[in-house]
């Protein structure tokens, strides 16, 4: 480190390490949407066509069916054999995946024989009761990523049910009860904008009070993807300081944190054209290059029965999740921001490790 940024060599070392990834190495990655529908109405959702009150203008509603699950398993087995990979990293995605719990269970059941190294779910957690979490965990789910929009007040102004009900307290109660009932890993993704950046410390305190053992935190700026939801936050020293303060507090309270991965370079889905390292599969079995295009007309690149389309057909549709997102700063500002935040995270992790070692409690993970 040099001052408060990383040297070029340190940045290269961090980028090459596994500190920025949650996926086990040596696995084939599969994201499967079990339901494109959602019980919430987040106006910034990249699956919306436009941002309107109630956010009803979403991608077409599709649910994963039993026959499609079988085709997905066959497709994944073929992809893994082609790549000589013997373990699968599965992500259950939506919409809200728990709107199709039966589809989630069936998918986990079918994928287990493929060698499930890990199985995660991205969920808003509104439906994640202790009973549901237990059922999923006993079927093979290993971790949950819960999306939250800041402290109670800001979250409840952004993450509402279709009937306009607040969700913050229900989500935290579900997390607390599900964590008591299972051995799942918990990853909290906080969607940050100018509307909630001042609430992050309160949120971290509330999450810490949920009593979750293995937990990590990720702060992610909400992107402006041209649907009417802007984000006034700009990358700079002040925002970096806020992020570092929040991460430092969280790490002190027992959260893990990952450094900022070079998302598009390392992504198993979009980094290489043609699905060599991973596949994004919609609930109807259609293939896409990334989460942001899944289910959107014009972006399909194949399906699990016929496989990927020829390169000349799919290449123009092979994009990454940020392809429609307005940048939060210049390239220089983005890199400086990454460096500042990563230095803060690494220092906080090192400090916690030292503190635990001095108390005779070793084994602190550098990421989670
Ligand atoms: S919970 Fe997720 S999928 Fe549902 S509307 Fe919000 S951002 Fe979109």
Chunk the chain into consecutive blocks of 10 residues (it has 368) and report each block's average pLDDT, rounded to whole numbers: 56 53 78 97 86 68 97 98 96 98 98 96 98 98 97 94 95 98 97 95 97 95 86 91 97 92 74 93 97 94 97 92 85 92 94 86 48
**Cα–Cα separations (whole angstroms), residue 297 to 15, 52, 56, 59, 307:** 34, 20, 17, 8, 18
Separation between Cα atoms, residue 49 and residue 260, nearest integer Å:
29
User: If you take atom 6 of ligand 1, which residue's CA is the nearest one?
Assistant: 42
Looking at the CA of residue 55, tell me the nearest atom of ligand 1: 5
Fold of 8-358: TIM Barrel (3.20.20)
The per-residue pLDDT for 140 is: 97
User: If you take atom 7 of ligand 1, which residue's CA is the nearest one?
Assistant: 45
40 lines ligand 1 (CB under 6 A): yes
Beta bridge partners of 215: 186
Distance 128 CA to ligand 1 centre (A): 15
124 lines ligand 1 (CB under 6 A): yes
Residue that the structure tokens 């306009």 belong to: 164
Q: Give me the phi and psi of 243, to 5 degrees please.
A: -60, -45
- Would you list the domain boundaries of the chain? 8-358
The two tokens of residue 271 are 């980094």
- Tell me if the pTM is above 0.85: yes
Separation between Cα atoms, residue 233 and residue 239, nearest integer Å:
8
The per-residue pLDDT for 366 is: 43
Distance 38 CA to ligand 1 centre (A): 6
The per-residue pLDDT for 51 is: 59
The per-residue pLDDT for 98 is: 98
User: If you take atom 3 of ligand 1, which residue's CA is the nearest one?
Assistant: 95
Residue 185 is given by DSSP the state E
The per-residue pLDDT for 326 is: 82
The per-residue pLDDT for 49 is: 78
């Amino acid at each position: 480190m040099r001052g408060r940024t990383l040297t070029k060599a340190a940045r290269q070392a961090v980028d090459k390490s596994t500190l920025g990834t949650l996926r086990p190495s040596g696995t084939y990655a599969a994201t499967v949407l079990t339901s494109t529908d959602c019980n919430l109405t987040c106006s910034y959702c990249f699956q919306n066509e436009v941002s309107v009150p109630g956010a009803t203008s979403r991608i077409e509603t599709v649910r994963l069916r039993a026959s499609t699950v079988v085709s997905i398993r066959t497709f994944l087995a073929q992809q893994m054999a082609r790549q000589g990979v013997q373990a699968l990293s599965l992500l259950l995605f939506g919409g809200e995946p728990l709107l199709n719990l039966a589809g989630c269970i069936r998918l986990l059941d079918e994928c287990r024989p493929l060698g499930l190294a890990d199985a995660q779910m991205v969920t808003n957690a509104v439906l994640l009761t202790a009973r549901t979490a237990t059922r999923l965990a006993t079927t093979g789910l290993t971790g949950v990523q819960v999306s939250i929009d800041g402290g109670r007040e800001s979250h409840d102004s952004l993450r509402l049910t279709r009937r306009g009900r607040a969700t913050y307290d229900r989500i935290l109660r579900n997390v607390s009860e599900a964590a008591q009932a299972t051995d799942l890993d918990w990853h909290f993704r906080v969607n940050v904008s100018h509307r909630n950046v001042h609430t992050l410390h309160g949120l971290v305190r509330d999450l810490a009070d949920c009593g979750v053992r293995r937990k990590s935190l990720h702060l992610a700026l909400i992107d402006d993807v041209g649907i009417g939801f802007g984000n006034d936050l700009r990358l700079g020293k002040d925002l970096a300081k806020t992020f570092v303060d929040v991460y430092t507090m969280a790490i002190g309270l027992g959260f893990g944190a990952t450094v900022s991965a070079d998302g598009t370079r390392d992504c198993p889905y979009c980094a290489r054209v043609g699905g060599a390292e991973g596949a994004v599969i919609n609930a109807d079995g259609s293939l896409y290059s990334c989460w942001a295009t899944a289910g959107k007309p014009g972006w399909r690149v194949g399906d699990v029965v016929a496989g990927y389309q020829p390169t000349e057909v799919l290449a123009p549709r092979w994009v990454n999740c940020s392809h429609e997102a307005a940048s939060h700063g210049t390239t220089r500002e983005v890199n400086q921001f990454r460096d500042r935040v990563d230095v803060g995270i690494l220092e906080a992790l090192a400090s916690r490790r030292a503190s635990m070692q001095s108390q005779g409690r070793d084994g602190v993970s550098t990421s989670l």
